[in-house]
Structures are given as structure tokens and as C-alpha cells.
Amino acid sequence: MNALSLWTPLLDVLGDAICLLDTDHTVLNCNTATEILVGKRSDEICGQKCWSVFHNLNDMHPDCPFERIKKTLERESSEMQIEDKWYEVLLDPIVDENGKLVSILHTLRSIDDRKRAELEMAKSAERFRSMIDNAPYGAHIYELKGDGQLIFVGANSSADNILGLDNSQFIGKTIEKAFPDLVSTDVPEAYRMVAATGQPYSTESISYSDNQGIVGAFEVCAFQTSPNHMTALFRDITEKKRHEEELKKSNFDTYIERERLAVTLRSIGDGVITTDARGNIVFLNTIAEQMTGWTCAEAIGKPLTEVFYIVNEYTRKPCENPVEKVLKTGLIVELANHTMLITRDNREIILADSGAPIVDETGEIYGVVLVFRDITEKQKILDAMHKAQKLDSLGILAGGIAHDFNNLLGGIFGYIELAMLDNPLPEKARKYLGDSMKVLSRARSLTQQLLTFSKGGTPILKVGALDITVRDAALFALSGSSVSCRFNFKENLWSCE
């Protein structure tokens, strides 16, 4: 049996399309996967040139890797597309004992799923790039190298417009060389942490000035886009800062009063959110930040329902917006019972809340203030108290029933004992009365347990014979029915409690 006769049983079980090629590109043999791939039988494929079978060419491709193998005797690999599917092409030289090339193993392995995934990743990256390029914020993109250097790799057109220069000049430079004035801040290290750990970084204002002409105050938000890669979005808030300074100078007393109010609101133990007349957030105090998961800087300008999302604790349906209710009625309102806040990080907090209008000297409403507090633990205590009260009521009821039932059993006991004292009583009747006494004794034991439960005590456990306990329980359960029990116990059973 030669090597070719072993071809079919060995290679037909493989999913890869495998051919054996002669040194002149002729197909010597192929497996079933190859027949399926090209849609021809083995006898139609063998004897043909490989470029005719797989590429529909009339002659060899000028850059055919087959020719390189003849010189290097090393594996060649490439990728090719047949119709709409992608394959990895592997050419492995087969040499004799003298190192002379005698044939080549040609393998086509499907990489269609991988190529589709790569295409989707490329599309996703392109969409992200398009989003960044069209964003009104400037964007700087960095890559964290293994040696800890943070390299500038790109920017969007908004960054050029905001900074007034071509940011492509910084590509390939470290952040310290691209923007030297940042060295004195915590920004470079913060960016490294973002790229390495994925922990986002934001700051409301960074003042920057260098000899490249970049001057201003910037609000920055940085986030990781992929491992060791991050993007920093920024906007120029110079005019905003200048306006704030002018406002401070022109209306210092009002500014101081507002600051005092803000300090007061930040210091109180309840969460406080203020909105404007459109229901957009103006301020969050520290407690509100902690409870909602939003910082004040992030929440400013957002609709209340985006930051303060409340639902019914039991139905999970969204609750009515308290700010809209205050603006509509002009009155102080309170949240309904069982109102639950769903925080930004999906924590659930039961709230007590009230909202009131903010009015000016003319009585015009120009905003709403919400004051709320976490009553989750308080609610748990109240629920526990309600359960305890229900148990107390149940205990009183059980005690009363057990007491009355015990009195009734006492009377039955007395009459049965009197009946058993009757000497001419038939033996069979005496046996039935004795069994009745046992059942009544068991019933009295149960009423005693009910009385113990009603008083809040713990039943007393006793050690007894297992066979007697099982027998008494079974007979008690079946008393009055037409079912009878047959017992078979081993000797010397363990006692039970």
C-alpha cells in the first residue's frame, strides 16, 4: 500500500479542503472537502492545474507562492476569497530524504467567521470614529505603551477648531511633549490610569496656556475605548468662566448669597435637587450626588427624570414627575408611598420626598426644589414591626383556640375515664376507649404546643422511642378514617428528639 492509497481514509474526515500538488502545479489528489468547495468530482479535479481549479485562471499568477516555495522550501500562507467566503491558504513543501521538493500540500481553511468579525469590528471602529469626528467636543486619542509612555495618536476636526491649530502635528509624541503645560497637573497620570484600568476621569475646568498659542479653560471627560487606549473629550469653557467672573463682579452680593445657600444645601443631611422652570437640573447637593450616582457637574442641564428616576416599589412602573406636578399646581407636593429611586449604578433606594416651587418677588415660579431622604432601613424596620404584630395577633388567636379546645378535651377525658370504670364494660369497648384516650392525649399535647407558641415560648423537646413516636403519629393522623396501618420496626432503634 503506497502513500496515495492512504489519502482518502486519512484526509476525507477533515473539514479543510486539502490537495496534493505536483511540482508543476498539477493536482494529484484531493479530499471530499475540496470536491464540495469547487463543486467538482475528484476525477474532474485531479490532473488540472491548481490555478485553474481554485482561481479560474488560464495561467499561473505572477506572484504565485508556489514558486517561492521551490526556492525557500518553507511554508507559505495567504488569504483568498472564493465567491463570498474567505479562506486561509497554506502551502507546505514535501521533500524527500535528500531535501528535494517532491510535492506540495495545498490546504484551504475557512476563516469566513473571523473575516466577518474583523469587518464588523472595522465598521464599529469607523462608526465610533465618525461619531468622534462629528462631535461638537474636541477629542484627543492616546495609546498607553508598555513602558508607560502615553502617545498621542489622533484628534477630530473639532479639536483643531477649539484649539486653533492642526493637532496632527502631535501624532507620535508623548502627552508631555505635545502639551508641556499639562506636566504640572494631574492630567497625564489620570489619563494613564484611564487607559490602563478603564476608570473614567473628568474635571470641570483645566486652565491651560503654552507657547503654541493654546490658551483657555477646558472641561474634560476621559474614558477608555479599548485596552490601553483612551479618548479625552474636551470643550472650551473660557467664555463660560469669563461670564462667571463678570457675574461675580457685577452681582457679588447675589453670588455670595447663592454660595451660602449652596453650602447650606450641601451640608444638610437630605438630598436636594433644584431645577429650572423647564424641569432641567440646576443643582445637586452632596447627598443627592451620593444617592443618584450623578455628580452635580454631570447632572446640570439634564431633565430631572434622567437623573432622578423613580418607580413604584412593587409595580416597578415609573412614578409621576414631581417637578411637573409642582409646576402644574404651584403647590408643595409629596411622593406617594412605596416610591423607589433607581440610581445610576442600579441601586434601589426607598424615598420620602417633597417638592416645592421656587418663586421670585412677583410670585412667578422659576424653579422647583426637591428634598428627599433614604428611608430604606426605616421601611425595613416598619415591615418587620408589622410582621411581628401579625405574629402577635396570630399567637393570641392560637392561644385562645388552644385554651378553649383544651377545656373541651378535659371534659372528654373525664367522660371516657368514667366509662372505663364501668366493670361490666365489654373488652372490645374498653380497648376502643383506651385508644381514644391515647388520641386525646396526643391532641392535648398539640394544644399545649399551641399555648406555648402563643406565649412566645419554645416547645420543649424530649427524647423518646422512635417506633412509639412513629406509631402514635400515624394512628393519630389516620384516626376516624377507614385506613389501617401495619408496622414493622427493627429492634433497638435509636431514640429521637
In terms of C-beta distances under 8 Å and separation of at least 24 residues, what long-range contacts does 46-54 make, across chains too?
A: 49/25, 50/19, 50/21, 50/25, 50/26, 50/106, 51/25, 53/19, 53/27, 54/80, 54/82, 54/108
pLDDT score recorded for residue 169:
92
Q: What is the pLDDT of residues 275-323, one digit of tens each?
A: 998 989 998 988 889 999 999 899 999 999 999 999 988 888 998 888 8
Q: Are residues 101 and 163 in the same domain?
A: no
Q: Measuring CA to CA, which residue among 261, 318, 306, 263 is closest to residue 281? A: 306
How confident is the prediction along the chain (497 residues), in pLDDT tens digits per residue? 444 555 556 677 678 888 888 989 898 888 888 888 888 888 898 999 988 888 888 888 888 888 888 888 899 888 888 778 888 889 999 998 888 998 898 898 888 888 888 788 777 766 766 666 666 788 899 999 989 999 999 888 888 888 888 999 999 999 999 998 888 888 999 999 999 999 999 988 888 877 777 878 888 999 898 889 999 989 888 888 888 777 777 666 665 666 766 676 666 778 889 899 898 999 898 888 999 999 989 999 999 999 999 998 888 899 888 888 888 888 888 877 788 899 999 999 888 878 888 888 788 888 998 888 888 877 777 776 777 677 666 666 666 676 666 677 677 777 677 777 766 777 777 777 777 777 777 777 777 666 666 665 555 667 777 777 787 777 767 766 778 788 888 877 777 77
User: Within a domain: residue 421?
Assistant: yes
Q: Are residues 317 and 291 in the same domain?
A: yes
Last residue of a domain, one of 206, 240, 274: 240
Q: Are residues 207 and 128 in the same domain?
A: yes
Q: What is the pLDDT of residues 79-131, one digit of tens each?
A: 888 778 888 889 999 998 888 998 898 898 888 888 888 788 777 766 766 66
Q: What is the CATH number of the domain that holds 221?
A: 3.30.450.20
| CA 309 vs CA 225, 274, 275, 369: distances in Å | 28, 15, 15, 16
Cell numbers 417638592 correspond to what residue? 355
Q: Are residues 230 and 291 in the same domain?
A: no
Q: Are residues 257 and 228 in the same domain?
A: no
Q: Are residues 226 and 287 in the same domain?
A: no
Q: Are residues 291 and 317 in the same domain?
A: yes
Distance CA 398, CA 446 (A): 11
User: Within a domain: residue 467?
Assistant: no
User: Within a domain: residue 58?
Assistant: yes
pLDDT score recorded for residue 171:
93
User: Within a domain: residue 192?
Assistant: yes
Distance CA 282, CA 263 (A): 15
Cα-Cα-Cα-Cα dihedral sign, residues 279, 281, 284, 289: positive
The model's pTM is 0.33
Q: Are residues 309 and 328 in the same domain?
A: yes
Q: Are residues 232 and 125 in the same domain?
A: yes
User: Within a domain: residue 63?
Assistant: yes
pLDDT score recorded for residue 268:
76
Q: Are residues 129 and 230 in the same domain?
A: yes
User: Within a domain: residue 395?
Assistant: yes
pLDDT score recorded for residue 456:
58
Q: Which residues pair with 355 in a beta bridge?
A: 333, 370
User: Within a domain: residue 135?
Assistant: yes
Total number of domains constituting the chain: 4
pLDDT score recorded for residue 399:
65
Distance CA 456, CA 434 (A): 34
Q: Please tell me whether residue 156 adopts helix, strand or coil conformation.
A: coil
Cell matching residue 14: 477533515
Q: Are residues 263 and 367 in the same domain?
A: yes
pLDDT score recorded for residue 366:
85
Question: Which domain does 431 fall in, by range?
Answer: 381-460
Q: Are residues 225 and 265 in the same domain?
A: no
Q: Measuring CA to CA, which residue among 153, 154, 152, 156 is closest to residue 134? A: 156
Distance CA 178, CA 141 (A): 12
Average pLDDT across the chain, whole number: 81
User: Within a domain: residue 468?
Assistant: no
Last residue of a domain, one of 110, 144, 179: 110
Q: What is the pLDDT of residues 319-333, one digit of tens each?
A: 888 888 888 888 888
Last residue of a domain, one of 374, 402, 437: 374
Distance CA 405, CA 196 (A): 74
pLDDT score recorded for residue 381:
76
